[in-house]
Amino acid sequence: MNTETVYEPNIVALCCMHCAYAAADLAGSSRFGYPPSLKIVAMPCTGRTDMGHLLKTFEDGADGILVAG
Amino acid sequence: MIVAEQKPVATLKEMLRGKRKILAVGCGTCVAVCFAGGKREVGILAAALRMATELDGARVEIDEAIVQRQCEYEYIDPLKDKLNQYDAVLSLGCGVGVQTLADRFQTTRILPALNTKFMGGPTEQGVWEERCQGCGNCLLDVTGGICPITRCSKQLMNGPCGGTDTGGRCEVDKEIPCAWYMIWERMEKLGLQDELMEVRPPKDWSTSRDGGVRKIVRMDLRKPDPKDFQE
């Protein structure tokens, strides 16, 4: 039995509602899969991303943040 | 506005050593608009300190609060009821805010998260400069609206001195524009250069920090003392 555990980082993707979030939507409707450790958050605009959002996301357990917009 | 900047996280971590639960209190006035102690900065600093102390194995629980003006009792009084659950208050106000909190809540430890720097304003995005030293006897009427007490490195009453270069820069630091050079240029624009030919006497500093803590008492605004109406 293989007891080796694979590190799977928790990634939060902050996606612009007008582009990257729509791309994620399209990926979903095209039946592309992505790991459950990736959480997608729609932003009204990624320009809204603030240092506070990043710090609190890390504080709440994210290992990495993808800002896509 | 009063301009301040945050102390380094390492300094604050040291200040919070041994504390388990604290309240970070921001101020919604001067330090909010210079991005040092408003609601946003309270959230960022609290998150940074929670994570930094957790990494050290002694996580400090930090709650967040904001008051519109930390320098007035009326605004900070609503904090009173919840203070008994905290080991200390970390104030993101200016020095006045910290002292007002400490004065009002004398059995609570009040800690400063900011270094208060000066009275000034933003000159471009992300840049603040000192404009007033609160000398108590404003002379901007005779200097074209440019304060030599604050902006001349030597606080000269007559200038410029010999340390100004031809480009109007100060000998103390070439990054500092010579205040008196600017005053002459401004007075020229106003057509008032002749006024600068008058030699100004040394400044009377008695209105400044000369006599200790300064105070203004406005009798027209004070609450009447009932004793004044007794016969």
**Lateral strand order in the sheet of A38-43:** A38-43, A11-16, A64-68
pLDDT digits (tens, 9 = 90+) for B20-69: 999 999 999 999 999 999 999 999 999 999 999 999 999 999 999 999 99
Buried b (16+ CB within 10 A) or exposed e, B179-190: bbbbbbeebeee
B105 and B155 in a single domain? The answer is no
B34 and B113 in a single domain? The answer is yes
Among chain B residues, the shortest Cα distance to A53 is held by B44
Confidence at residue B32, expressed as pLDDT on a 0 to 100 scale: 97
- In this structure, what DSSP letter does residue B201 have? P
With a CB cutoff of 8 Å and minimum separation 6, the contacts of B204 are: B137
B112 and B138 in a single domain? The answer is no
**Residue of B40, B44, B63 to mutate, testing the A interface (most A Cβ within 10 Å of its Cβ):** B44
**Residue of A54, A59, A65 to mutate, testing the B interface (most B Cβ within 10 Å of its Cβ):** A59
Confidence label for B231 from pLDDT (cuts 50, 70 and 90) = low
- Which token pair is A19? 């582009």
Let me know if residue B11 belongs to a domain. Answer: yes
Higher pLDDT, residue B223 or A49: A49
Question: What are residue B129's DSSP bridge partners?
Answer: B121
With a CB cutoff of 8 Å and minimum separation 6, the contacts of B231 are: none
Let me know if residue B112 belongs to a domain. Answer: yes
State the nearest Cα–Cα gap between B47 and chain A, in angstroms. 6
Confidence at residue A2, expressed as pLDDT on a 0 to 100 scale: 63
Confidence at residue B209, expressed as pLDDT on a 0 to 100 scale: 81
Q: Structural domain tally of chain B?
A: 2
Confidence at residue B144, expressed as pLDDT on a 0 to 100 scale: 97
State the nearest Cα–Cα gap between B92 and chain A, in angstroms. 16
B110 and B28 in a single domain? The answer is yes
Let me know if residue B227 belongs to a domain. Answer: no
pLDDT digits (tens, 9 = 90+) for B71-104: 999 999 999 999 999 999 999 999 999 999 999 9
Let me know if residue B95 belongs to a domain. Answer: yes
Percent of chain B with pLDDT over 90: 92
Confidence at residue A31, expressed as pLDDT on a 0 to 100 scale: 95
ipTM: 0.75
Confidence at residue B76, expressed as pLDDT on a 0 to 100 scale: 98
Exposed/middle/buried for residue B120 (C-beta within 10 Å: 0-12, 13-18, 19+): middle
Overall average pLDDT of the B194-211 stretch: 91
B112 and B20 in a single domain? The answer is yes
B106 and B153 in a single domain? The answer is no
Least confident of B64-68, B171-175, B188-192, B205-209: B205-209
Let me know if residue B224 belongs to a domain. Answer: no
pLDDT digits (tens, 9 = 90+) for B120-155: 999 999 999 999 999 999 999 999 999 999 999 999
* CA B44 – CA B26 distance, rounded (Å): 11
Determine the structural domain holding residue B88 and report its residue range.
2-118
Let me know if residue B226 belongs to a domain. Answer: no
B45 and B10 in a single domain? The answer is yes
Give the pLDDT of chain A (69 residues) as one tens digit per residue.
566 788 999 999 999 999 999 999 999 899 998 889 999 999 999 999 999 999 999 999 999 999 999
B100 and B138 in a single domain? The answer is no
Confidence at residue B8, expressed as pLDDT on a 0 to 100 scale: 97
B89 and B173 in a single domain? The answer is no
B93 and B46 in a single domain? The answer is yes
Phi/psi of residue B159, nearest 5 degrees: -160, -175
